[in-house]
Amino acid sequence: MRDLIEGIMQLRRSTDDVDCGSEDSLEAHITEEDVKRSIDALRPLGCGYEVFSLHGKTMVRTVPQELSGDAMSILLHLSSDTSQKDGQNLPFMTAQDTQRLSASTMKDWTPARAQQALDDMVMGDGTMWLDVVPADEDAGPELRRRRYYSLTFSEPFLTQRSPDAISSMEALRV
């Protein structure tokens, strides 16, 4: 997982030079357009990579199946300025947030559908992770203390962390 996280961060910093690994230490500059062309070239192989835009940010889907409409709705909300932020300024959602949003943007979402969408993103897609706030910090019921985060919107937090901190976060991943 650390290799994946570090690889994603390196891709996003496309201004960095990348060592191609040859004996002469040739360097190449990889641009966003290079990544897009490479992903397009892989499409016939059915590997599942796709480039898409989310609130003006270019994203890469790396899960083998297409993201559901429910997952896209949740990611759109997390990428908006109106999403809740924690103490590290990371956007997160709760099942209750998803249910509140259903009245305006996610029509016909039952509480069960909202919970299922979040669970699918954690367990099926791997696009979210779950953090439960400890009871001594919030005396509410566990369901209300469950926060769902997307790694996609957490890069500024992760780039400030050491590899050991990232490994610790991986160990906590549900």
The domain of 105 spans: 67-174
> CATH code at 157?
1.10.10
Examine residue 101 and state whether it is found in any structural domain, yes or no. yes
| The overall pTM is greater than 0.75 | no
Residues in contact with 11: Cβ distance below 8 Å, sequence separation at least 6, in sequence order: 30, 35, 60
Two tokens, residue 10? 């390196």
Number of structural domains in the chain: 1
CA dihedral 63, 67, 71, 77 (to 10 degrees): 90
Examine residue 94 and state whether it is found in any structural domain, yes or no. yes
Residue 42 in contact with residue 59, Cβ under 8 Å? Answer: no
Examine residue 42 and state whether it is found in any structural domain, yes or no. no
Q: Among residues 148, 150, 155, 122, which one has the least CA distance to residue 6?
A: 155
Examine residue 23 and state whether it is found in any structural domain, yes or no. no
The tens digit of pLDDT for each residue in 49-68 reads 777 777 677 777 766 667 78
Going along 30-94, which residue ranges are E strands? 50-54, 57-61, 84-85, 91-93
Two tokens, residue 154? 């957490």
The tens digit of pLDDT for each residue in 79-118 reads 888 888 888 888 898 888 887 776 556 567 788 888 888 9
**How far apart are the C-alpha atoms of 36 and 58, rounded to whole Å?**
10
Examine residue 148 and state whether it is found in any structural domain, yes or no. yes
